[in-house]
């Protein structure tokens, strides 16, 4: 039962980050947030914007091509 509670914690952190990004004017269709193990964060192809589960998981911001300019850099992601 503990892993479910820990996952819920990651989901709540992810939801908080999503609200902040949307609040900065980025449409929800313009990005996604992935929860990945620490050792996979470098291969996720995005920017780490948060962490959860006692810092064993990272939340990675990945900007989608839909509705965005090709020249927009991932550096436009919010700071953690």
From the list 14, 15, 36, 25, the residue with the least C-alpha distance to 72 is 25
Residue 27: its pLDDT value, please?
A: 96
The total number of residues shown for the chain amounts to 80
DSSP 31-80: EEEEEEEGGGGGGSSSEEEEEETTTTEEEEEEE-STTS-TT--GGGSPP-
Residue 71: its pLDDT value, please?
A: 39
Residue 41: its pLDDT value, please?
A: 87
pLDDT, tens digit (0-9, with 9 covering 90-100), for 19-70: 999 999 999 999 999 999 999 988 888 999 999 999 899 999 999 876 544 3
Paired tokens of 25: 């004017």
Query: Is the whole model's pTM more than 0.85, yes or no?
Result: no
Residue 69: its pLDDT value, please?
A: 45
């Amino acid at each position: 039962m503990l892993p479910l509670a820990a996952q819920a914690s990651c989901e709540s952190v992810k939801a908080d980050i999503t609200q902040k990004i949307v609040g900065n004017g980025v449409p929800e269709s313009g990005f996604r947030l992935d929860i990945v193990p620490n050792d996979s964060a470098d291969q996720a192809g995005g920017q780490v914007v948060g962490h959860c589960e006692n810092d064993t998981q990272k939340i990675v911001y990945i900007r989608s091509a839909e509705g965005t300019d090709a020249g927009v850099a991932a550096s436009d992601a919010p700071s953690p």
